[in-house]
A and B are shown apart, each in its own frame.
Chain A
Amino acid sequence: MSDFIDLTSAGAESATYGADERDRMGFFTDTTLCIGCKACEVACKQWNQLPSDGYEFTGESYDNTKALSGNTWRHVAFVEQMEPERETGRWLMESDVCKHCTHAGCLDVCPTGAIIRTEFGTVVIQDDICNGCGYCVVACPFGVIGEKQEDHTMGKCTLCYDRLKVGEQPACAKACPTESIQYGVVDELRERAEKRLEKVQQNFEGAQLYLNDPNDGIGGGGSLFLLLDKPHVYGLPPNPIVPTKDLPQRWRTAGIAAAALFGAVVLCAVSRR
């Protein structure tokens, strides 16, 4: 019981790596700079050797990979917003990715210990340990995780852990031609994002940051986003909450209930006698 409480409340700031611990690394995805080229999707798949998700014309604007999945770890959403007269309009593009939550539901619920918090503060599934139970899939408030077709383990962005280990940046950030995907130390990215928002808001009223608040339902993301509209427009949950957030309280309640039940049973037995 106490283990669960530790995991959920500690989050990314809690280091167990000692001297090996590094700065917490993450992404700042600035959608105002995205040109929808999908180089991030391709670079990600190429580096991580992921197969295609199938060849299906969706008719969903220029999006044919539909969503993040076990085989698609970067996904570019396309949102067409034209005025009724279509004199003006917007075509929003946003490259979505695992949020590497400060409080990560997937990590909390993983029964095998396959999902770990790395020395970079990122959340990674070790596919040689994962048994494919899928608990993490339902524990993710963003729908990031899916099953990999090849080996039926679970897959999601690793923030290119293997590249980080040798001092390289993640493949998607490297491939992004317009610096829409920026990689760096999360604290610095948060500052950068704040400054950038100030500038963007001069022209775009609805611009807002997403997952930059350490006090939100996931304790802030390791992946931050600058959006031009409300999160739900891009298919992102407006107020994500890690499902394990109330777990200590629930355990406590369950404990009390169990104790009460036990007491009742004892009482019953005693009173029978």
Chain B
Amino acid sequence: MDALGGVAASQASLRRFLHGLPGVDEAGAVARAGMLASRSVKTDAKRQAIDLAISMIDLTTLEGQDTPGKVAALCAKARNPGFGAPKVAAVCVYPDMVEVAAPLLAGSGIKVASVATAFPSGRAALDVKLADVKSAVAAGADEVDMVIDRGAFLSGRYLSVYDEIVAVRGACQGTHLKVILETGELGTLDNVRRASWLAMLAGADFIKTSTGKVAPAATLPVTMVMLEAVRDWREATGGGPAGGQMVGVKPAGGIRTTKDAVRYIVLVHETAGDDWLTARYFRLGASSLLNDLLMQRDRMATGRYSGPDYVTVD
């Protein structure tokens, strides 16, 4: 039974529910996100936003050329970004690199996140995907970032997508589950809203925009629609600060500058609200972003911009 009392009981009822969600007017959503992007975040607010952003980063490397050396360097950076900055939230790697990252991050409070389920395309049989998840969990992953079956979603087989998320959640055995919607392949904001609710119904701890392997990756309007979904989900599951389930949101891919990161924080602040401004409920999937945040942090602290030679490249 799902949290809303059985809307996912059948393909027909799930379809009715998802298609009964209020539509998203694309022009209006883009305009609203654009207006929020023009918020002016200066001085103390900027300092606060930079540290928040650093603490919410899932520092990521997802390349075919990843090696134990590369992952070890990233873990060192995660533990000690420099400039007295807070540590990041997690390091995100492929499943086979979890065994490298886990011991290096043990005791640091930094989570090990692993992509899984035939990332990034998700094109594999269910048992292969589940084996992928189990191997990541067995190697010590604290968090699993799965991808949904976009083919099934786009052909309207919502229950199939739902069942798969439920199965992955089972395989996670309590490990934190982030569900990647790959919004760049969903085409419309209506679909983003439906996929968000679908993932939350199936028990996602987080909904995540993108793999980073498809363009466009994270965008402000898409993330805004997902933030509206988690806000409404909290209302639908009991409402108010006292009750209601809080699901996290993770935009990932294409977030490279401090300005980008600050815009996402503004979006959270004015859409879902400040309850989400913690690594528990909001993450930024990124790699080069961290160095830009560090350079800006240093500039805010000293009044001078030191440049890229003064941050470590890992």
Q: Report whether chain A binds chain B.
A: no
* Chain A interface residues toward B at CB < 8 A: none
